[in-house]
Amino acid sequence: MRIAPRSSLLWLVGLVAVPLAAVAGLAPDAAALALSGIGLVGLLALVDAGLAARSASGIRVQTPALVRLAKEREGLLPLTFVRGEKAPASTVRVGFSFPPEIKAEPDAATVALPAASPVVRWDWPLLARRRGKFSLARIFLESPSPFGLWARRENFPIELELRVYPDLRVERRQIAAMFLPRGSDGIRKRRQVGKGREFEKLREYVSGDSPEDIHWKATARRRKPITRVYQIERTQEVYVVLDTSRLSARLAPLTAGPGAKPAATVRTQTALDDADLVALESAPPTTLERTIASAMLLGDVAARQGDFFGLVTFADRVDNFLRARGGVAHHQAVREALFTVEPRMVSPDFGELCAFLRVTLRKRALLVVLTSLDDPVLAESFVRNIGLLSRQHLVLVPMVRPPEARPLFTEDPTHSPVGDTRALYARLGGHLRWRQLHETGEALRRIGVKFSLLDQERMTAQLVNRYLEVKARQLI
């Protein structure tokens, strides 16, 4: 606890003590009276300070143990002020030592505590500029002294955790049309290729049934034709395999126009200092931020389709593994596992990943591997190891197309005309990167892996479309 002078004490000294000191110096006959007045002012200030130091403020602040926020969206921190029923009306200033990633308006808040309300609830608006987990260890209070000349400053230990989750607004807008009520389950209807493969029941043969669907043992047992009835497969397992290695820390601008920042700029948010955090709101998200948001929405779509959803995150080792399940509790577990994931400055170990999944996953599943294969060395390692999984599982590799990776002779309105040698060499470099990705895709297709390039602006919608196409064609 500390005591600090308030503006009322300064005004009292300036309006009373200073003029009395001037009178004592200019009029010796009134010096004794002036000094007595100064002494009374000093005595009043000392008594008020003593009362403020000895008496407790009687104000307690209750905070929740956990507050959930969304990145770049304003949230509220609820505070509850509790004091005695007969306490007079007063005001209190409250503050926290917020991390630089959390923007609070205002920095220190003044809350009015009416005499008729022993319990006052006040919500503090917050804006999170970075995804992750943050802790607040202390709360700071400033309350006036009994005469209002001093400010009593206290701080108390608290246990408050702020969890900042990804902002899914941009991705949700991309797939909004897929959730229009056009089908019985709310998903936009798609043409089903073929019939279901999952056995549902037996029934009597009717004209038009295929002979291959006749159940001959049941026919012999019942002495009349019996047909198998199949249904569309449900509760299939879908896993998102998320790469969190060094290439996931690259910035991923939403546009690839002339004024956009290059996506190849390696700048991870874990290395940002306080000065960089000031401009964090206008900076483009990293590739990992985009893939996390897409993975969460793909899990929502899989749940609507009746499938089980699982998660794997890896870099040089497998960091997280959540077995595919359904339900609200499992969806929350996936959300909790993703919001703290940060890129690590290591190269991915695809051999370790494939060996782990080959041993762990016994049932055939759909594996959606979100990684970057524009590095030739990493692409070669991926092609060499992924065959271990493609023999049993269906593997999709939807990779975000680098902005400059395009064929040389392609009409692209986002590219400015070639005006100098530097632009020509940049186009040639982009063509070589596109050619390398094309060769990698062909090598993957030969071993049964489906490789595709996604546009930066429509990444989530195209990823969900890949999954729905697999469901429509019953490839799992």
The residue-averaged pLDDT of 459-476 equals 86
User: Is it the case that residue 181 has pLDDT exceeding 70?
Assistant: no
The 10s digit of each residue's pLDDT in 341-359 is 999 999 999 999 999 999 9
The pTM for the full model equals 0.75
Contact 426, 404 (CB under 8 A): yes
| Same domain for 42 and 67 | no
Does residue 202 sit within a domain? no
d(CA 235, CA 324): 10
pLDDT of residue 84: 73
| Same domain for 72 and 42 | no
CA 48 to centroid of chain Cα atoms: 50
| Same domain for 121 and 44 | no
pLDDT of residue 401: 87
Query: Which of the four pLDDT bands, split at 50, 70 and 90, describes residue 141?
Result: confident
Query: Which of the four pLDDT bands, split at 50, 70 and 90, describes residue 317?
Result: very high
The 10s digit of each residue's pLDDT in 42-80 is 888 888 888 877 766 678 888 999 999 998 889 999 999
pLDDT of residue 279: 47
For residue 160, what are the domain limits?
Answer: 60-165
The 10s digit of each residue's pLDDT in 208-226 is 778 888 888 888 988 888 8
Contact 28, 123 (CB under 8 A): no
The residue-averaged pLDDT of 86-97 equals 81
Which residue has 């309006």 as its token pair?
Answer: 15
Task: Compute the mean pLDDT over every residue in the chain, rounded to the nearest whole number.
Answer: 82
Does residue 116 sit within a domain? yes
The residue-averaged pLDDT of 288-315 equals 91
Does residue 367 sit within a domain? yes
pLDDT of residue 16: 86
d(CA 344, CA 321): 17
Query: Which of the four pLDDT bands, split at 50, 70 and 90, describes residue 199?
Result: low
Query: Which of the four pLDDT bands, split at 50, 70 and 90, describes residue 253?
Result: low
| Same domain for 281 and 161 | no
pLDDT of residue 280: 46
Strands 308-314 and 318-325: antiparallel
| Same domain for 65 and 47 | no
Does residue 105 sit within a domain? yes
| Same domain for 131 and 21 | no
| Same domain for 460 and 338 | yes
The 10s digit of each residue's pLDDT in 93-129 is 888 888 888 988 777 888 888 877 888 898 989 999 8
Whichever domain contains 161, its CATH number is 2.60.40.10
| Same domain for 122 and 23 | no
Does residue 209 sit within a domain? no
| Same domain for 43 and 113 | no
Q: Which amino acid is at 472?
A: A
Instruction: From residue 448, give the alpha-carbon distance in Å to each of 194, 355, 390, 425.
Output: 21, 18, 6, 35
| Same domain for 96 and 15 | no
CB-side neighbour CA atoms (13 Å) of 129: 20
The residue-averaged pLDDT of 278-297 equals 76
d(CA 9, CA 43): 12
pLDDT of residue 83: 80
User: Is it the case that residue 270 has pLDDT exceeding 50?
Assistant: no
Does residue 228 sit within a domain? no
Task: Look at the chain and report how many structural domains it folds into.
Answer: 3
| Same domain for 315 and 278 | yes
The 10s digit of each residue's pLDDT in 379-408 is 999 999 999 999 999 999 999 888 888 887
The residue-averaged pLDDT of 271-282 equals 47
Does residue 175 sit within a domain? no
pLDDT of residue 263: 38
pLDDT of residue 29: 80
Whichever domain contains 352, its CATH number is 3.40.50.410
| Same domain for 65 and 46 | no
pLDDT of residue 258: 36
User: Is it the case that residue 304 has pLDDT exceeding 60?
Assistant: yes
pLDDT of residue 187: 46
